Copies of this chain bind each other. A is one copy, B any other.
Protein backbone atom coordinates (compact mmCIF):
# COMPACT_ATOMS: atom_id res chain seq x y z
CA UNK A 1 0.00 0.00 0.00
CA UNK A 2 1.38 3.37 -0.96
CA UNK A 3 0.77 6.91 0.19
CA UNK A 4 -0.38 9.35 -2.41
CA UNK A 5 2.58 10.92 -4.09
CA UNK A 6 3.88 14.11 -2.53
CA UNK A 7 1.89 13.40 0.64
CA UNK A 8 3.60 11.93 3.70
CA UNK A 9 2.27 8.58 4.88
CA UNK A 10 1.33 10.31 8.11
CA UNK A 11 -0.99 12.65 6.23
CA UNK A 12 -2.51 10.71 3.37
CA UNK A 13 -6.32 10.38 3.33
CA UNK A 14 -6.16 7.26 1.17
CA UNK A 15 -3.68 4.55 0.30
CA UNK A 16 -3.24 3.04 -3.13
CA UNK A 17 -3.42 -0.73 -2.88
CA UNK A 18 -0.77 -2.57 -4.84
CA UNK A 19 0.73 -6.02 -4.69
CA UNK A 20 4.46 -6.58 -4.69
CA UNK A 21 7.23 -8.80 -3.49
CA UNK A 22 10.56 -9.59 -4.97
CA UNK A 23 9.80 -13.13 -6.20
CA UNK A 24 6.33 -12.38 -7.54
CA UNK A 25 7.74 -9.31 -9.29
CA UNK A 26 10.15 -11.50 -11.20
CA UNK A 27 7.48 -14.08 -12.01
CA UNK A 28 5.10 -11.41 -13.31
CA UNK A 29 7.76 -9.66 -15.37
CA UNK A 30 8.70 -12.95 -17.04
CA UNK A 31 5.08 -13.95 -17.66
CA UNK A 32 4.44 -10.60 -19.31
CA UNK A 33 7.39 -11.21 -21.63
CA UNK A 34 5.80 -14.45 -22.75
CA UNK A 35 7.42 -17.00 -20.46
CA UNK A 36 5.61 -19.61 -18.43
CA UNK A 37 6.17 -18.86 -14.78
CA UNK A 38 4.79 -19.90 -11.42
CA UNK A 39 4.95 -18.36 -7.98
CA UNK A 40 4.88 -20.22 -4.69
CA UNK A 41 4.11 -18.58 -1.37
CA UNK A 42 1.95 -18.96 1.73
CA UNK A 43 -1.03 -16.64 2.05
CA UNK A 44 -3.99 -16.27 4.42
CA UNK A 45 -7.34 -17.39 3.01
CA UNK A 46 -8.89 -13.95 3.50
CA UNK A 47 -9.60 -11.00 1.19
CA UNK A 48 -6.04 -9.67 1.41
CA UNK A 49 -4.49 -13.03 0.63
CA UNK A 50 -6.90 -13.55 -2.26
CA UNK A 51 -6.13 -10.08 -3.58
CA UNK A 52 -2.43 -10.89 -3.70
CA UNK A 53 -2.89 -14.21 -5.49
CA UNK A 54 -5.42 -12.69 -7.88
CA UNK A 55 -3.13 -9.81 -8.86
CA UNK A 56 -0.26 -12.19 -9.53
CA UNK A 57 -2.42 -14.68 -11.44
CA UNK A 58 -3.83 -11.91 -13.60
CA UNK A 59 -0.58 -11.69 -15.53
CA UNK A 60 -0.69 -15.40 -16.29
CA UNK A 61 1.54 -16.57 -13.45
CA UNK A 62 0.60 -20.01 -12.15
CA UNK A 63 -0.44 -19.60 -8.50
CA UNK A 64 -1.90 -23.05 -8.10
CA UNK A 65 0.81 -24.05 -5.62
CA UNK A 66 0.31 -21.15 -3.24
CA UNK A 67 -0.30 -22.58 0.24
CA UNK A 68 -3.47 -21.22 1.85
CA UNK A 69 -3.19 -20.55 5.55
CA UNK A 70 -6.06 -19.82 7.94
CA UNK A 71 -8.03 -16.61 7.37
CA UNK A 72 -6.85 -15.30 10.73
CA UNK A 73 -3.22 -15.37 9.66
CA UNK A 74 -1.89 -12.20 8.07
CA UNK A 75 -0.29 -11.31 4.80
CA UNK A 76 2.96 -9.37 4.86
CA UNK A 77 2.20 -5.68 4.40
CA UNK A 78 4.28 -2.69 3.49
CA UNK A 79 3.62 1.01 3.44
CA UNK A 80 5.54 3.23 1.03
CA UNK A 81 5.96 6.97 1.31
CA UNK A 82 7.32 8.30 -1.96
CA UNK A 83 10.02 10.90 -1.44
CA UNK A 84 11.40 13.78 -3.45
CA UNK A 85 14.98 14.90 -2.96
CA UNK A 86 16.18 15.56 -0.32
CA UNK A 87 13.37 13.54 1.26
CA UNK A 88 14.01 9.81 0.64
CA UNK A 89 11.41 7.14 -0.11
CA UNK A 90 10.42 5.42 3.12
CA UNK A 91 9.12 1.87 3.39
CA UNK A 92 7.59 0.39 6.51
CA UNK A 93 7.45 -3.42 6.35
CA UNK A 94 5.27 -5.68 8.45
CA UNK A 95 6.44 -9.18 7.64
CA UNK A 96 7.04 -10.57 11.09
CA UNK A 97 4.74 -13.41 11.90
CA UNK A 98 3.09 -13.20 8.47
CA UNK A 99 1.81 -16.32 6.76
CA UNK A 100 4.97 -16.70 4.68
CA UNK A 101 7.20 -16.21 7.73
CA UNK A 102 5.47 -19.20 9.29
CA UNK A 103 6.35 -21.46 6.39
CA UNK A 104 7.72 -24.73 7.66
CA UNK A 105 10.78 -26.53 6.45
CA UNK A 106 8.86 -29.20 4.62
CA UNK A 107 6.06 -26.89 3.57
CA UNK A 108 6.92 -26.64 -0.11
CA UNK A 109 6.13 -29.09 -2.88
CA UNK A 110 9.64 -29.96 -3.95
CA UNK A 111 8.49 -31.80 -7.04
CA UNK A 112 6.69 -28.71 -8.29
CA UNK A 113 9.63 -26.43 -7.54
CA UNK A 114 11.90 -28.71 -9.50
CA UNK A 115 9.53 -28.92 -12.44
CA UNK A 116 10.45 -25.63 -14.09
CA UNK A 117 13.55 -24.89 -16.14
CA UNK A 118 14.80 -22.29 -13.65
CA UNK A 119 14.17 -21.78 -9.95
CA UNK A 120 14.57 -18.16 -8.90
CA UNK A 121 15.16 -17.39 -5.23
CA UNK A 122 16.05 -14.30 -3.24
CA UNK A 123 17.92 -13.53 -0.07
CA UNK A 124 14.84 -12.11 1.65
CA UNK A 125 13.11 -15.46 2.22
CA UNK A 126 15.70 -16.96 4.58
CA UNK A 127 15.61 -13.80 6.68
CA UNK A 128 11.96 -14.35 7.59
CA UNK A 129 12.50 -17.29 9.90
CA UNK A 130 14.05 -20.70 10.35
CA UNK A 131 11.25 -22.54 8.53
CA UNK A 132 11.63 -20.22 5.57
CA UNK A 133 15.35 -20.67 5.56
CA UNK A 134 15.15 -24.45 5.61
CA UNK A 135 12.48 -24.59 2.91
CA UNK A 136 14.48 -22.15 0.79
CA UNK A 137 17.63 -24.24 0.98
CA UNK A 138 15.73 -27.45 0.37
CA UNK A 139 14.07 -26.07 -2.73
CA UNK A 140 17.45 -25.14 -4.24
CA UNK A 141 18.78 -28.59 -3.52
CA UNK A 142 15.74 -30.25 -5.04
CA UNK A 143 15.86 -28.13 -8.17
CA UNK A 144 19.56 -28.77 -8.64
CA UNK A 145 19.09 -32.47 -8.05
CA UNK A 146 16.51 -32.43 -10.83
CA UNK A 147 18.97 -30.74 -13.16
CA UNK A 148 17.32 -27.31 -13.06
CA UNK A 149 19.01 -23.91 -13.08
CA UNK A 150 18.98 -22.02 -9.77
CA UNK A 151 19.23 -18.23 -9.74
CA UNK A 152 19.48 -16.12 -6.60
CA UNK A 153 19.17 -12.41 -5.94
CA UNK A 154 21.04 -11.38 -2.76
CA UNK A 155 18.65 -8.53 -1.75
CA UNK A 156 20.20 -8.02 1.68
CA UNK A 157 17.79 -6.29 4.12
CA UNK A 158 19.66 -4.85 7.08
CA UNK A 159 16.45 -4.44 9.07
CA UNK A 160 15.66 -8.15 8.92
CA UNK A 161 18.97 -9.67 9.92
CA UNK A 162 22.68 -9.01 10.30
CA UNK A 163 25.29 -9.25 7.52
CA UNK A 164 26.79 -12.19 9.39
CA UNK A 165 23.54 -14.17 9.45
CA UNK A 166 22.89 -13.37 5.83
CA UNK A 167 26.36 -14.48 4.82
CA UNK A 168 25.94 -17.76 6.65
CA UNK A 169 22.65 -18.48 4.91
CA UNK A 170 24.00 -17.54 1.51
CA UNK A 171 27.14 -19.61 1.89
CA UNK A 172 24.94 -22.61 2.57
CA UNK A 173 23.01 -22.17 -0.65
CA UNK A 174 25.84 -21.01 -2.97
CA UNK A 175 26.88 -24.58 -3.92
CA UNK A 176 23.45 -24.95 -5.54
CA UNK A 177 23.40 -21.60 -7.34
CA UNK A 178 24.04 -21.06 -11.05
CA UNK A 179 23.49 -17.34 -11.34
CA UNK A 180 23.95 -14.81 -8.56
CA UNK A 181 22.40 -11.34 -8.80
CA UNK A 182 23.50 -8.64 -6.39
CA UNK A 183 23.81 -4.94 -5.96
CA UNK A 184 27.44 -3.86 -5.55
CA UNK A 185 26.94 -2.53 -2.03
CA UNK A 186 25.55 -5.81 -0.72
CA UNK A 187 28.59 -7.71 -2.01
CA UNK A 188 30.93 -5.40 -0.15
CA UNK A 189 28.83 -5.41 3.00
CA UNK A 190 28.31 -9.18 3.23
CA UNK A 191 31.50 -10.56 1.79
CA UNK A 192 34.05 -7.82 2.28
CA UNK A 193 34.99 -7.82 -1.38
CA UNK A 194 36.53 -4.76 -3.09
CA UNK A 195 34.26 -1.80 -3.88
CA UNK A 196 35.48 -1.84 -7.50
CA UNK A 197 32.73 -3.60 -9.47
CA UNK A 198 34.76 -5.91 -11.65
CA UNK A 199 37.00 -7.01 -8.85
CA UNK A 200 33.98 -7.56 -6.64
CA UNK A 201 32.31 -9.84 -9.19
CA UNK A 202 35.50 -11.81 -9.82
CA UNK A 203 36.25 -12.22 -6.14
CA UNK A 204 32.80 -13.46 -5.23
CA UNK A 205 32.61 -15.84 -8.19
CA UNK A 206 35.99 -17.29 -7.38
CA UNK A 207 35.49 -17.62 -3.64
CA UNK A 208 32.22 -19.52 -3.92
CA UNK A 209 32.64 -21.07 -7.39
CA UNK A 210 29.59 -19.29 -8.72
CA UNK A 211 29.27 -19.89 -12.48
CA UNK A 212 27.78 -16.45 -13.24
CA UNK A 213 27.71 -13.29 -11.14
CA UNK A 214 25.60 -10.32 -12.25
CA UNK A 215 26.13 -7.04 -10.41
CA UNK A 216 23.86 -3.99 -10.63
CA UNK A 217 25.64 -0.68 -10.22
CA UNK A 218 22.79 1.84 -9.95
CA UNK A 219 23.39 4.72 -12.35
CA UNK A 220 26.56 2.97 -13.54
CA UNK A 221 24.69 0.15 -15.27
CA UNK A 222 25.29 -3.53 -14.69
CA UNK A 223 27.94 -6.14 -15.35
CA UNK A 224 28.06 -9.91 -15.77
CA UNK A 225 31.05 -12.09 -14.98
CA UNK A 226 31.23 -15.67 -16.20
CA UNK A 227 33.59 -17.57 -13.99
CA UNK A 228 34.50 -20.39 -16.35
CA UNK A 229 35.40 -18.20 -19.31
CA UNK A 230 36.50 -15.12 -17.43
CA UNK A 231 34.22 -13.11 -19.72
CA UNK A 232 33.18 -9.81 -18.19
CA UNK A 233 30.64 -7.52 -19.84
CA UNK A 234 29.19 -4.20 -18.75
CA UNK A 235 26.22 -2.28 -20.10
CA UNK A 236 24.98 1.22 -19.26
CA UNK A 237 21.51 2.14 -17.97
CA UNK A 238 18.81 3.77 -20.10
CA UNK A 239 18.09 7.42 -19.26
CA UNK A 240 14.87 7.39 -17.24
CA UNK A 241 12.32 9.77 -15.74
CA UNK A 242 11.97 7.88 -12.50
CA UNK A 243 8.48 7.57 -10.99
CA UNK A 244 9.15 4.74 -8.54
CA UNK A 245 12.43 2.88 -8.04
CA UNK A 246 11.08 0.01 -5.99
CA UNK A 247 11.00 -3.24 -7.97
CA UNK A 248 13.60 -2.19 -10.50
CA UNK A 249 16.09 -4.78 -9.26
CA UNK A 250 13.48 -7.48 -9.80
CA UNK A 251 12.72 -6.16 -13.27
CA UNK A 252 16.44 -6.22 -14.01
CA UNK A 253 16.71 -9.86 -12.97
CA UNK A 254 13.70 -10.81 -15.10
CA UNK A 255 15.04 -8.85 -18.04
CA UNK A 256 18.43 -10.51 -17.70
CA UNK A 257 16.93 -13.99 -17.54
CA UNK A 258 14.81 -13.18 -20.57
CA UNK A 259 17.50 -11.53 -22.66
CA UNK A 260 20.29 -13.94 -21.85
CA UNK A 261 18.10 -16.89 -22.66
CA UNK A 262 18.72 -18.31 -19.21
CA UNK A 263 15.17 -17.86 -18.06
CA UNK A 264 13.59 -18.86 -21.31
CA UNK A 265 11.68 -22.05 -21.81
CA UNK A 266 13.79 -22.81 -24.80
CA UNK A 267 16.74 -20.61 -23.86
CA UNK A 268 20.19 -21.23 -25.32
CA UNK A 269 23.56 -21.11 -23.57
CA UNK A 270 23.29 -17.47 -22.56
CA UNK A 271 23.76 -14.19 -24.39
CA UNK A 272 25.19 -12.09 -21.55
CA UNK A 273 25.31 -8.78 -23.44
CA UNK A 274 21.69 -9.08 -24.46
CA UNK A 275 20.85 -10.16 -20.94
CA UNK A 276 22.37 -7.03 -19.47
CA UNK A 277 20.71 -4.78 -22.05
CA UNK A 278 17.33 -6.40 -21.46
CA UNK A 279 17.80 -6.17 -17.71
CA UNK A 280 18.67 -2.49 -17.89
CA UNK A 281 15.79 -1.81 -20.28
CA UNK A 282 13.20 -3.61 -18.19
CA UNK A 283 14.46 -1.86 -15.05
CA UNK A 284 14.15 1.48 -16.84
CA UNK A 285 10.61 0.75 -17.97
CA UNK A 286 9.61 -0.45 -14.50
CA UNK A 287 10.80 2.82 -13.00
CA UNK A 288 8.39 4.79 -15.17
CA UNK A 289 5.34 3.34 -13.42
CA UNK A 290 4.21 3.32 -9.83
CA UNK A 291 4.26 0.07 -7.92
CA UNK A 292 6.55 -2.94 -7.90
CA UNK A 293 5.07 -4.49 -11.02
CA UNK A 294 6.88 -4.47 -14.36
CA UNK A 295 4.08 -3.74 -16.82
CA UNK A 296 6.28 -3.92 -19.95
CA UNK A 297 5.26 -6.28 -22.70
CA UNK A 298 7.62 -8.04 -25.05
CA UNK A 299 6.74 -5.51 -27.74
CA UNK A 300 7.55 -2.53 -25.53
CA UNK A 301 10.84 -4.03 -24.47
CA UNK A 302 11.84 -4.74 -28.06
CA UNK A 303 10.82 -1.23 -29.10
CA UNK A 304 13.09 0.26 -26.46
CA UNK A 305 15.98 -2.01 -27.41
CA UNK A 306 15.60 -0.89 -31.01
CA UNK A 307 15.88 2.71 -29.86
CA UNK A 308 12.51 3.83 -31.18
CA UNK A 309 11.92 7.59 -30.89
CA UNK A 310 10.08 9.22 -27.97
CA UNK A 311 7.08 10.48 -29.97
CA UNK A 312 3.62 9.40 -28.92
CA UNK A 313 2.69 5.97 -30.27
CA UNK A 314 -0.66 6.21 -31.97
CA UNK A 315 -2.85 3.22 -32.76
CA UNK A 316 -5.80 4.27 -34.88
CA UNK A 317 -8.90 2.76 -36.29
B-binding residues in A (CB < 8 A): 1, 5-17, 46-48, 50-51, 54-55, 57-60, 71-74, 77, 79, 81, 83-97, 157-160, 238-246, 281, 284-285, 288-290, 293, 295, 297, 300, 304, 308-317
Contacts and interface: CB of A to CB of B under 8 A. Distances in A.
Which applies to chain A's interface (DSSP): helix, strand, loop or mixed? loop
Contact of A1 (B6, B15, B159): B15
Contacts of A96: 74, 97, 317
Contact of A289 (B8, B47, B95, B246): B8
Contacts of A245: 312
A315 B46 contact: yes
A282 B71 CA distance: 22
B79 A47 contact: yes
Contact of A238 (B46, B86, B315): B86
Contacts of A13: 13-14, 16-17
Nearest to A1: B15
Contact of A159 (B159, B293, B315): B315
A92 B238 contact: no
16 contacts: A6-B289, A8-B295, A9-B48, A10-B50, A11-B51, A54-B58, A72-B317, A73-B317, A83-B288, A84-B241, A86-B239, A86-B288, A88-B309, A88-B312, A88-B313, A245-B312
Given A84-B241, A86-B240, 14 more contacts: A13-B13, A54-B59, A72-B317, A86-B281, A86-B284, A87-B300, A89-B312, A91-B313, A91-B314, A91-B315, A96-B317, A97-B97, A158-B314, A246-B312
Contacts of A54: 10, 58-59
How many subunits of this chain does the assembly comprise? 6
A304 to B, nearest CB: 5
A182 to B, nearest CB: 15
Nearest to A2: B14
A60 B58 CA distance: 8
A97 B101 CA distance: 14
A17 B12 contact: yes
